[in-house]
Amino acid sequence: MSDFRKIGVIGGGSWGTALALVAARAGRDVTLYARDPETVAGINQRHENQRHLPGIRLDKALHATTDMAQALDVDAVLLVTPAQSTRDVAQAMRPLLKPGIPVVICAKGIERASGDLLDKVLAEALPGTPIAVLSGPSFAADVASGLPTAVTIAASGEALADALARSLANDSFRPYATTDVTGVLIGGALKNVLAIACGVVVGRALGASAQAALIARGFAELGRLGAAMGAKQETLAGLSGLGDLVLTCSSPQSRNMAFGIEIGRGGQLAELTAPGRKLVEGFFTAPVAVALAQKHGVDLPICQTVAAVLAGSMSVDAALHTLMTRPLKRES
C-alpha cells in the first residue's frame, strides 16, 4: 500500500492541531477541520491556534477550514475528537467520506452509552471504512513543539498500519505499526482512569512510593482486562500501554492527572466537571471500564474505587482504605 499524500484532520483542539503539524512536517498536504471560525482564521492568517496551543508557530502549509467536506477530500483522515463524540462526528462524516478512505481514531476512551471500544463505534457509524488507531505517550504541546515522540499506529491489516506510519513519520515523530487494535484501544482508555487515581495520590501528598505502587498495580489491571479481550501482552507493555500509562500518571500536564490532583486536594466534583472545564476522558471511561471488566470476569480494584469516587458513592479516604486493606495475595 502506498503512502497517503493528502491527510485530513477532524478536530481543531490541541491534539488535532499537533497531529496536523506532524503530518505537515512529514511532507503531507494537510487540511484541518475545526468548527470555530476564529480558530480557523487564526491558523490560516496568523499561523497559530491561540486558544489551544498558544505561542506555538504553525507550519504555513497547514490549511484550516470550517468545511468538513473539504477536510474529507483526502487520502486518509485523522479523527481527533473526544471519545464520547466519536459516533456523532463519524455519522456527520458519513455522507462526505469517499469509499475506502481510512479513518484513524486518535481519541482515548470507551463509549459511555454502549460500553463499546471506539473501533466498533466507528465501524457502526462508517460501515466498510478501513479503521486504524493512533495512541501512545504524547502531550500535544510536546508534539507541536517538535520534541521527540514515539507512538503506536494499529490497524487490522499490516499494510494499512505500515502505510500510515510512513505517512506520519518525521524527524521528531516516530510511529510503530501493529495489528493489535484492541490492545492499543484498551491501553489508551484505561490509562486515563489510572491517571486520575495517581493524581489523587499526588493531591493528597501520599508520596512517591504510593504513586509508583499505583502505576505498577494499575498496569496489572490494564494487562488483565487486555488479556481477557484478546490484546497482545507486548502491545500492553509497549508505547500505547505501559508507555502512555507512565507518562499520564507522572505529569500534571495530563488533564486526567490534574483532575485527580484537584480531587485529592478536596476539590468538589460539581465544580471540576462544570461546563467550560477541560474535558477529562477518564471521568467518562471509569464506570464503563468497570462494567466491561465485570462482563469479562476481570477484577479492577483501582478502577472500581476511582469509579466509586467519581460517582460520589465513596470518599477519597474510604477508597484508599479499601485498596490498602484488600485481602493479601501473591503477586503472580
Query: Which residues participate in catalysis according to the annotation?
Result: 191
Alpha carbon of residue 148 to chain centroid: 18
| C-alpha to C-alpha distances, 201 to 148, 194, 213, 282, nearest whole angstrom | 29, 11, 11, 16
User: Which 8-state DSSP code applies to residue 43?
Assistant: I
R_g of the chain, CA atoms, integer Å: 19
User: Which 8-state DSSP code applies to residue 95?
Assistant: T
Separation between Cα atoms, residue 108 and residue 185, nearest integer Å: 7
Alpha-carbon dihedral sign for residues 70, 72, 75, 76: positive
Burial 227-261 (b: 16+ CB within 10 A, else e): bebebbeebbbbbbbbbbbebbbbebebbbbbbbb
- CA nearest 72: which of 25, 21, 26, 32? 32
Query: Is the distance from CB of 107 to CB of 83 less than 8 angstroms?
Result: yes
Helices (H), the chain: 14-25, 37-41, 68-71, 86-93, 118-125, 140-144, 158-168, 181-203, 208-228, 233-236, 244-248, 255-264, 269-272, 281-295, 301-311, 316-324
Full DSSP string of 121-174: HHHHHSTT--EEEEESS--HHHHHTT--EEEEEEESSHHHHHHHHHHH-BTTEE
User: Which 8-state DSSP code applies to residue 279?
Assistant: P
| C-alpha to C-alpha distances, 103 to 74, 87, 126, 156, nearest whole angstrom | 11, 13, 9, 12
